[in-house]
Structure formats: structure tokens, C-alpha cells
Structure 1
């Protein structure tokens, strides 16, 4: 559709700026409304990107506790082990220039398709690995494809979801990380008992990493494209058709669809007329600088809060407190993933009730308290020569409590928050910046954590106590609340009334109304 038709779209949209005013007054639960049920179930496909990511982290953790894998790769330690952990990251680095371009020019579904296809190929090569180098290369392919799929998936969920479901549905995205972690943990536990001399004990979990990406390859084109991407590409009719079908049960005169189309169009057109879409836009206004700070801080908080030790080096932690049995470590890893999955889903369900900022604060203060106690218990346990098993058990309890606090804010909230603070025209590039920051943090985790744990043991925890204390202050002073606002109206928190360009009078009323929703 051309520019003339687009102008008509804006002119004839109703002068209604309150989301509450246009929502259907229907008490029927969403799961009894076919269009919403189909829409929400379709989110499972992009969710699988997170599930695959979780499978990878837990699988490598489980493999490190398997004598079969250790024998196959000559018991890697230090930087050699760190390179295997960072093999995925090396692949992600190569994908950084490609992923946002694909999202901006090819939509959200194609990147999920091509990224998942590469993941399937990487999983097959990982299973067939004959030596250290081949295993490392396969993990680089997995990282390359995984980053492309991961960048597009939460954007598709956020931009496609029904307005009142967006927060919770996006929060579930990262929560499903633990479903993959759970499956990997118990798969490696089961295959461990195949025998100490069979490489299939680690090859089977490696091959199964390609199962969820295969489902995405097969089914991703059965779900609709992002209407915001379509508007950005001037495909207004296609965007309206999707919103009409999935948000309004096929009603072509739905006030909700009119409202959404007007808000999306005004936001994107204002951005086109007042700013560009390159990375330098993050440095051209106070609001965008604030956004840049947030999208760098959030992934750093996700990866540098001590969770990297648990995610990739749990076996080193357990060794440091005297829990050295392979089956024992695998059971703890499996139990932790079950706990994490249920806690994360529960916290995600509270997203719109508690708000984003409050969950961040609860998470950071809780993690700090747990890490302090964890550090003290580990120190005393070492001084007593690991003879007091109750201290070791206390550390395990602190790990579980820490994970509870972590999941409250660092698992369910980040993707919701980052996609909300970024405007549509910068969302793909902002998400890429987030991934780059996360990768830098993961590189640190991959190399520094195993070396530091082997060198200074529990004393390394003190570093994370200090880091988490800084995070508490950052959230308190720099993270605004975005609860109760549409994607477009969040821009007002950063850009003021100018976020709506030439419709400032109407926009002002809209901001006031949305704050009451």
C-alpha cells in the first residue's frame, strides 16, 4: 500500500487514545476465544528458541559431570574448557552484523527459520564430533544460528501478542529457557548410565539439541508475521488483516484494531521523520542514551550476577564443597532445573501485577543476601576440611534460594523490559546491542570463572557480592516502570510528549489515559 493509503489510515482512525476504551467488554476467558487461543498457542514456536538456548547451557554442564565426555576430550580444564563453553559465543559474534539486518529487512519469521536450520546442522555435527576441534566448530555453528533465532523470537512475541497479554507472554519466553535446561539435565543423567566406555552417553544429548529447532523449521511459517514489521515496510493492509484476525476475531470494524493501527503507524512515521534507524541514533538524544544504558545493563545483570557459575560450572562449585560424585552432581543439576522452571513461570505470571521495576529490585536484593550467606558457608566449610556435611548442604540450599531470587527478575523480566523500552524502528538493533553486551559478559564467564574457581575457590564469590550490590543501586536510580503502557506509549517515558510528533495534543491525552489503565 502506498503513502496515500497510509495517510488515509491515520486520518480515519478514531480519535480514541485509551486502550481501556477500545478493549472488548467481554468476560469470556481468553482460552475460550478461538482467535486468542490460537494466537497464544502459536507463541510456542518462538519460545523454542529460548528452550534450545537453555538446553545448551545445561547440556554442557551435564556433559562435564560425565566421565564418558571427559575421556573423549582428554579432560579439558582452564582455558581449554572455557573455549568449549565459549564456542557458542564465537559463533554469536559472527552473527552480530547479520541478525539485525535480517530482522529489519526479512521480518521476524525468516530469521527464526534460518537460525533454527543452522542449529539443526550444528547439533548433527556436535553429535558426530570425533575430536576437540570438531566439537568446538559444531558449537560455533550452534551459536551462529542460535543468535539469529534468539534475536527475532522475543520481538515476534512482543509485537504480535494481544495488548493485555503482552507482558506475561513475553516473560514466558525467557522462562522456557529452563524447560530446555531441565530436559538436558535429565537426559544427561539418564545416558550417563549407558556405560563408562560408550560415547553415545554424550552423543545422544548432543543430537537431541536439534529437536526443538527442527520443530521451528517445520512450523514457523504457520504463525503470522509481526504487524509492526509490516507497517514499517509500508504493508498496512497486511498488518491490519493480522490484527483483525488475531486481536478482533475477524471483526473489520474493531475499535481495538483501529486504535492499534493508528498508534503503531504514528509511532513509526514519527520516528522516520525525526530520526534514523542506525546505531548512532542511540547517541543522539537523552532518551536514546537512557535506552542504551538500560539495554547494556540488563544483559550484564543477567550474566554477571553469579549465575554463570551455576549455569556452566556447577560441578566446580559442588566439588569445592565436597559433593564430588557424578550421579550426585547430575541429580542436583536436574533438581535445580525443575525448581527453576516452576519458579520462573510463576514469576512471569506476576509480571503485570507486580511490575517490572519491583521485580528487578526484589531479584537483586535477594541475590545479594543469598550470595553473602553462600560465601560465608563456603569459607567455613573449607576451614573445616569439608568434614561438616551440613555446611555443604547449606550451600546447596543457598544455591536454590539464589535461583529463586534470580528468576524473579533476571529471567522473566529482561526481554519484556528491553523490548518495551525500545521503539519499533530501533528494536532489532537494540536487541542486537543487548546480545553483544550479553556475549561480552559470557566471554568473561567462560574464561574467568573456571580459572578463578580453580585458583581461589569460594573467595571468588566476594567479587559477585560487590557486583550485585552495584546492580541494586542501578535499578533503583535508572530503571523506570513500564507497566500498564502500550509499546508505543512507553516512548513517552524516555522522549516526552515529542514521541508522538505532530499529534501532541491528542498524544498528551493518550498518555494520561494510558497511565490509568
Structure 2
């Protein structure tokens, strides 16, 4: 028995999310690499500033990878862009694993980062464009879940190497080499899965677009009502988009597009201003300040990875039911509370006091922080930008907003080791303030995107007021209800009804002499 359409689409989304493992694995592995004695010796005993640059070279590369990813995705399709990202990552992984000095290590980090910047943008882009309306959030939040899987694997690999191979080259070279493993199946098997039907329609390949939609949403049945309604909305939306400028400049010169860009950039910056990268990159150093050794610190990080996976899985299960807006608001408030408690503990009971109870209480706060972050902030930060842009500018828009992610990430990675050395726990006060201002920003300016198709999002966001609480359509709509409307032929995009009626007027396929290849006729008509 074959997979149901939703199961097949979900499996496709999971496969593409293999690229997300790369970033998650690097987040988990670099903290252990930086404290390995052989790595320190090989790179010439780098100071805090240089350690920050080793970490942030990957982020600089990720920043540089976003625009090429958008160009490739629009020109050659989402799948070919993913393949290019995998090849570049292999180059970066080889350089890191074989690094003999700082320069080689930084070059490897840059190329690996460039690929991560590409793949982390392309995965939710592709996932959003293949998803059923009722499970779009579930697919796009897979990005963070697989990122968590990568971090989980890395934490235990690093812990195992610390226990069994401490002081050897293998302690850091083996974990860095292992990160290339997911690239092989992703690059070699991606063409077994359908291309994005939205990209296909945007480049005039209508028959292939309908066939891809049918394969994803109807077991290949191009006569399925859902497929025909989705294709009609997509074609109508693209016809409208062709009437306006859709180049790169339009992201900033068009007022409506610029609003979306600001929303995406704000969201990506808000992620880093929760302080998540401090724990991701420098957890061993943070825990060392509490008096814990390297082995115990890595164990705490491994437990934190498990907590994150549980939270990310919860997000996948609930995001289409709870939406995007409310989880972002409440998760940031929870993060702010954990930082208040954690900062107070460090201020009142520094490591010099030897208060082991306070130290463990702080560790628990980092786990609670990670749960709050991973159940909403991390996953939705990748899902939301891929939903708010129209098809013609989606790759461009997500490329620009992803660049904001890496700029913010670069800033935190570079500043954090210096700030921790200079002002200690006072540095955390920045994240206390920002977590609460994040929540207020989402409440005021971010409309709910769940329960709507990508094609109707253009009109919905344009009609939503800049102050969302004052707009009557801010509420969450059932994604299942929207999908059922499509199955009944109810569309929400101007002009889609006319396209759908043309298809429905095609005579029955029962006349085999006249319509021996009815699927092709329907595809051409749409």
C-alpha cells in the first residue's frame, strides 16, 4: 500500500530537511571543537577574539550564500539549488577536517557556512511550496526539528570523543568530518522527489506544475478537486503578480513588499536577541564559569539537545493548530523569565561562592530556556518568512530575510566571548530586555499566517492593518477548513474562480475516443 498524499508530502519535507542537520550539527560540534587541546595547538592557541572569528566565519559564509541561493532557486529550480549547496558544503567540510592552521580552518568554515546559508533558506522555501494548506506549518518547522537532530547527534559525538579520545587529533577532526554525511543522500536523491509546483508554474511549465501538485496532494490524480483548485489559485495569483514589478529592487521600492521584508528581518534579529547563540556556541565556557569541568559541561549540553528535540517535536504537532503569532509571543515571555532567574542566580551566587545548588539551578534555567525557544521561536522563524511572500518574490524575499539571520548571528558570535570575559552575567541583561520587547513587537505588528493558502496570503497581509490588534481578521483560521473549501471548489484569490470554471467545463473523460489522454488536457487547461 502506498503512502497517503499527506504522508508522502511530509516524507518529502523530511528528506529536504536533511540539509538542516548540517547547521544543527555544526552548532553542537563547534563548542566541543574549540576546547579540544589538539585543536588549540593546531590553530596557534587563539585568543577570545580569534575564537569568535572562527565561530563567526561560518555565519559570514552563510550571509554570503543567501543571495546566490535565491538566484539559483529562481533560475534553475529549488532542487538544483539544493544540490549546489551540498557540493559547496562538502568542500568546506573537507577543508575543516584537514585543517593544519587557522587560515585553512577559517576557509573551511566560510565555505561550509555559505552552503548552510543556502540550504537553511531553501529547505523551508521548498517545504512551504509543496505543502497541503493544513500541514504547511508542520512541514516548514521541520527545519528546526532536523536542526535539533543535528545538534543532538553532535553533542553526543563530542561527548564521546571527549571521554575516549581527549587530547588527540581525532577528538576534533572526526566530529568535523562526520558533518558531511547528510550531504551525500540529499544531493544524489533529491531528484526522486517532485520539483516545487509553484516554481514550475512561475516559469510557465503548467503541465508539470499540475502533475507535481497531483503527485504531492492526490496520488498523481490530476483531476482531483483539490489539485485543480490549488492550480487555479496559483495561476490566478501569478497572473496578478506579473502585472507588478517582481525584481530584487521591488523588495524595497514596493511599499507592501517592504513591509514583508521588515517583518522577516525583525523576526530573524529577534531570534538572536533571545541569547540562543550564547548557549549554542559557548556553552562549555558558560558552564565552566559555574565551576563545571569540560566533560560535565558537554553532558549538560547533550541533555539540553534532548530537551530541544522534545520541544521541536511538540511544535511540529501543534503549530498548525495554535498558529504562529501566539506561540511567538508567549515563548519570548517565557524566555525572558528564564533569563531573569538565571541572571539573578549568577549575580547572587557566582562560581567563587561554591554554591553547587545555585549552579545546578542555573543549568535547569538553560534547559527551560531551550525548551521555550525550541517549541516556538526557532521553528517559526524559518516558517513565517516562507509564508508571507508571493510566489514571484518568495525566493528573493527569504534570501534577504535569511541574510538578516546570519548578520545577527555573526554579531552575537563575535561579541559574546568578549562580553562574557568583560562583564560576565551583566551581558545577560540585554537578552532579558530583548525577549520582552520581542513579544510586544509580535503582538503589535505580526499577523497570523496559519489557515491560509500561500496564494491568498498576498491579499490577506495587504488588508491587515499595520497594528494587528486593531484588525478584525487577526484571528487564527482552521487550516483544515481552508483545505476542505478548496476541495469543494471555493477559492480565495481574485480570478481563480474563472480559471477553475474553465477546467470544470471540460467534457467528461468517459469519451475515450475524444479524450484518451484527459490528464494532459486538464493540465494544459489549468
Give the TM-score taking structure 2 as reference length.
Answer: 0.86
The equivalences for 1:2-151 within 5 A come to: 33-151=3-121
Aligned residue for 2:521?
A: none
1:336 is aligned to 304
Q: Counterparts of 2:86 and 2:376 in 1: how far apart (Å)?
A: 28
The one of 151, 162, 165 aligned to 1:195: 165
Q: Please give the alpha-carbon distance, in whole angstroms, between the structure 1 residues aligned to 2:252 and 2:126.
A: 22
How do residues 152-301 of structure 1 correspond to structure 2 at under 5 angstroms?
Answer: 152-285=122-255, 287-301=256-270
Q: Secondary structure, in 3 states, of the residue corresponding to 1:411?
A: helix
Which runs of 5 or more structure 1 residues have no equivalent in the other structure? 1-30, 508-517
User: Which of 319, 339, 355 is residue 288 of structure 2 equivalent to?
Assistant: 319
**Residue from 315, 337, 348 that aligns with 1:369:** 337
C-alpha distance in 1, partners of 2:251/2:104? 41
Deviations 1:28-60 (A, max 9, x none): xxx974444333222222101111110011110
Q: Following the alignment from structure 1 to structure 2, what is the Cα–Cα distance between the partners of residues 394 and 132?
A: 37
Give the SS at the match of 2:303.
Answer: helix
The whole-number CA distance in structure 2 between the counterparts of 1:33 and 1:460 is 50
> Do 1:108 and 1:152's aligned partners in 2 also have CA atoms closer than 8 Å?
yes
User: Given the alignment of the two structures, is residue 347 of structure 1 paired with residue 315 of structure 2, yes or no?
Assistant: yes
**SS of residue paired to 2:242:** helix
Q: Which moved more, 1:207-216 or 1:71-80?
A: 71-80
**Are positions 1:480 and 2:409 aligned together?**
no
Change (3 A) 1:500 1:453: same
**Deviation sequence 1:136-156 (CA, Å, 0-9, x none):** 111111012222222222111
Pick closer, same or farther for the CA change 1:261–1:413 going to 2, 3 Å.
same
Q: Hey, what's the Cα distance between the residues in 2 that align with 1:447 and 1:241?
A: 47
Change (3 A) 1:348 1:501: closer
Distance change (3 Å), C-alpha of 1:281 and 1:132: closer
Aligned partner of residue 43 in structure 1, secondary structure:
helix
> How far apart are the structure 2 equivalents of 1:386 and 1:247?
61
SS at match of 1:98: helix
Per the TM alignment, residue 422 of structure 1 is displaced from its structure 2 partner at its CA by 1.1
1:461 to 428, 433, 454: 428
Distance 1:501 1:162, change over 3 A: closer
The 3 A distance-change label for structure 1 pair 208 and 505 is closer
Task: Provide the secondary structure at the position in 1 that maps to 2:274.
Answer: coil
Higher deviation after alignment, 441-450 or 194-203: 194-203
> In structure 1, the residue corresponding to 2:455 is in which secondary structure?
coil
Instruction: Output the CA distance in 2 between the equivalents of 1:112 and 1:505.
Output: 35
SS at 1:273's partner residue? coil
1:379 positional shift: 0.3
Aligned partner of 1:9 in structure 2 is: none
Contact 1:336/1:400 (<8 A) preserved:
yes
Once residues 277 and 376 of structure 1 are traced to their aligned partners in structure 2, the CA distance between those partners, rounded to angstroms, is: 49
- TM-superposed CA distance for 1:452, in Å, is 0.2
CA contact (8 A) 1:45 1:219 kept: no
Give yes or no for contact 1:127–1:207 (8 Å, CA) kept in 2. Answer: yes
Q: Is the 8 A contact 1:120 1:211 kept in 2?
A: no
Unpaired runs of 5+ residues, structure 2, are 465-490, 500-526
For 1:496 and 1:429, locate their aligned partners in 2 and report how far apart those are by CA, in whole Å: 22
Aligned length: 473
CA distance in 1, matches of 2:498, 2:341: 53
Listed one character per residue, the Cα deviations across residues 123-145 of structure 1 (whole Å, up to 9, x for unaligned) are: 12211111111111111110122
**Contact map agreement 1:157 1:170 (CA 8 A) in 2:** yes
Aligned to 2:365: 398
Query: Do the aligned partners of 2:21 and 2:151 also contact (CA within 8 Å) in 1?
Result: yes
TM-score by length of 1: 0.87
Deviations 1:399-436 (A, max 9, x none): 01111111122122122211111111111111111121
CA contact (8 A) 1:282 1:291 kept: no
- 1:463-506, CA deviations, whole angstroms, 9 ceiling, x for partnerless residues? 11111121111011001111211111122222239x98864998
| Counterpart contact for 1:275–1:281, Cα < 8 Å | no
For residues 397 and 60 of structure 1, what CA distance do their matches in structure 2 show? Answer: 22
